[in-house]
């Protein structure tokens, strides 16, 4: 489920209005503001009571206050379109269903920053997936804890895991960009890194 509290106050724009959205819309807990679809023929029509716009109509004007949820199989193309406009998506917002990817290579991308308490859990959960034709791309964003040390044994026994490191912390957008540059899969699944709760 998408429950990222940090973005609840922002406008939620769902990109993708086809069968993929219909299948996975139950995973979006936020109240939606608009839909975006690259098909100009859908512009001005409604879906679930909300208007559909061309992406450029919504994102160019609102890029600093939006919360984009991509409900489409065209992850790379959409992400690149957003990146060209300086828009970076939170990792929790790209959804993927195994039935949609058939036998395609899937890249699972996760950025790491001092996640020693959760990194093993994340590794185990990805490697335990039923879908096996995947690569696990990890980008360490200058961690100062044991995160990299904990990843090493998994890399030694599974060639699908690859780790790339920043010498210093550069933030999630930059780490995500680094990861995408190394993804070889046709689809990208963004694995959300967990945060330590405040006491």
Per-residue CA distances from 13 to 7, 33, 41, 69, 155 (Å): 12, 6, 18, 6, 37
* Segments of the chain assigned E as strands: 11-15, 34-36, 46-47, 50-53, 66-70, 106-112, 134-141, 161-166, 187-190
CA distance 40 to 73: 18
Asked if residue 133 and residue 86 are part of one domain, the reply reads no
The more confidently predicted of residues 139 and 20 is 139
Is the CB of residue 1 less than 8 Å from the CB of residue 29?
Answer: yes
The pLDDT value given to residue 129:
77
Domain count for the chain = 2
171 plus 112 within the same structural domain: yes
What's the chain's average pLDDT?
76
User: Which residue range is the domain that position 50 belongs to?
Assistant: 5-93
| pLDDT tens, position by position, 90-141 | 544 544 433 344 567 888 899 999 999 989 988 888 888 777 888 999 999 9
Domain co-membership, 111 together with 129:
yes
Instruction: Please tell me whether residues 139 and 74 are part of one structural domain.
Output: no
Q: What is the percentage of the chain residues whose pLDDT exceeds 70?
A: 67
Q: What is the pLDDT of residue 198?
A: 34
48-57 burial: b if 16+ Cβ within 10 Å, else e: eebebbbbee
Q: Is the pLDDT of residue 71 over 60?
A: yes
150 is a domain residue: yes
Question: Which pLDDT score, from 0 to 100, does residue 151 have?
Answer: 95
Query: Which residue, 93, 122, 148, sits at the end of a domain?
Result: 93
């Amino acid at each position: 489920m998408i429950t990222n509290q940090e973005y609840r106050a922002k406008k939620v724009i769902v990109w993708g209005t086809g069968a993929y959205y219909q299948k996975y819309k139950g995973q979006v807990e936020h109240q939606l503001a608009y839909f975006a679809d690259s098909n100009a023929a859908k512009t001005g029509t409604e879906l679930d009571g909300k208007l559909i716009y061309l992406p450029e109509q919504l994102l160019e004007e609102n890029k600093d206050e939006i919360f984009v949820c991509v409900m489409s199989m065209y992850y790379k193309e959409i992400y690149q379109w957003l990146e060209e406009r300086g828009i970076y998506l939170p990792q929790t917002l790209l959804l993927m269903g195994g039935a949609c990817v058939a036998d395609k290579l899937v890249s699972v991308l996760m950025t790491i920053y001092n996640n020693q308490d959760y990194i093993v859990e994340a590794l185990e959960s990805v490697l335990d997936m039923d879908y096996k034709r995947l690569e696990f791309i990890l980008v360490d964003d200058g961690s100062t804890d044991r995160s990299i040390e904990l990843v090493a044994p998994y890399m030694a026994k599974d060639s699908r895991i690859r780790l790339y490191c920043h010498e210093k912390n550069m933030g999630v957008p930059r780490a995500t960009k680094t990861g995408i540059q190394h993804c070889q899969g046709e689809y990208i699944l963004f694995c959300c890194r967990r945060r330590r709760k405040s006491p």
